[in-house]
Structure 1
Amino acid sequence: MVRPFMLTGGRTRPAHDGLRLETPLRAAPAALSAPLRFEYHRVVELCRQPRSLADLSAALVAPVGVLRVIVGDLLTDGYLRIEQQPEVFSTDLIERIRDRIRAL
């Protein structure tokens, strides 16, 4: 088991602020071949299809705060991008986010 602060280099604040749990993220095309550390590469792999911050947290079994820092770094470096957020969220999306948060 790796301590969360080891994954973020001891940082607790993300480089990119304003990420919500439902923020849809997608990997940039060149990101999969980039030389990234294991956790960062795994996030990029998962984001081949749009994934929310909550989805990533549940899939990696990592605290949301840690994912905020990692995703913030990837956004700053151009490896991830924020997809267009819908104006109104579907019931299915809200239920899926709720279920993923409960899984944590």
Structure 2
Amino acid sequence: MDSHEPPEASLVRPYTLTAGRTKPSVDLPLEAPVQTLQSAMFHRWPLNDVRGRIVQLCVKSPSVAEISARLDLPLGVTRVLVGDLVTSGYLRVNRTLTELSTRDERRELIGRTLRGLRAL
């Protein structure tokens, strides 16, 4: 493929990946780091299954927003799919900042966000 050609369009509409659902099954802040659990390592994902690609990405604990950007999926679709994987026991959503968060936790979130933006 010539590097100037546009990427091949997906034949699957994003809303079909979520069966038309628009809300995730768990609380899922956009900045929340998501981590792959050991149980996901034993699951065999069909080729080109976006859920398997999400699980692979989450080995490095990206945020929900990073997953969306890296897979070129709408944010709402990403949130629903990640929520499904969390409730199925394949991913864990790590804690984000609260009003009780320390200064170090806030700095770490800013650093992680900047690293994620640079990676894109």
Moved over 2 A (4+): 83-87, 89-97
1:3 corresponds in structure 2 to 13
User: Cα offset for 1:82?
Assistant: 1.6
TM-score, with normalisation over the residues of structure 2? 0.71
1:93 corresponds in structure 2 to 112
Give the whole-Å Cα distance in 1 for the aligned partners of 2:32 and 2:73: 17
Quick one: which of 7, 10, 15 aligns to 2:25? 15
Q: Any conservation in 1 of the 2:68–2:74 contact (CA below 8 Å)? A: yes
* Structure 1 residue runs without a partner (length 5+): none
Number of residues of Structure 1 aligned to a counterpart in Structure 2 = 99
Give the whole-Å Cα distance in 1 for the aligned partners of 2:68 and 2:77: 8
2:75 corresponds in structure 1 to 64
RMSD of Structure 2 on Structure 1 (CA): 2.1
Give the whole-Å Cα distance in 1 for the aligned partners of 2:23 and 2:80: 6
User: Cα offset for 1:96?
Assistant: 4.5
Which is greater in Rg?
Answer: 2
One-letter identity of the residue aligned with 2:88: D
2:50 corresponds in structure 1 to 39
User: Cα offset for 1:6?
Assistant: 1.2
TM-score, with normalisation over the residues of structure 1? 0.81
Deviations 1:18-66 (A, max 9, x none): 2111101101112022144511111001111211001101110001100
User: Cα offset for 1:94?
Assistant: 3.8
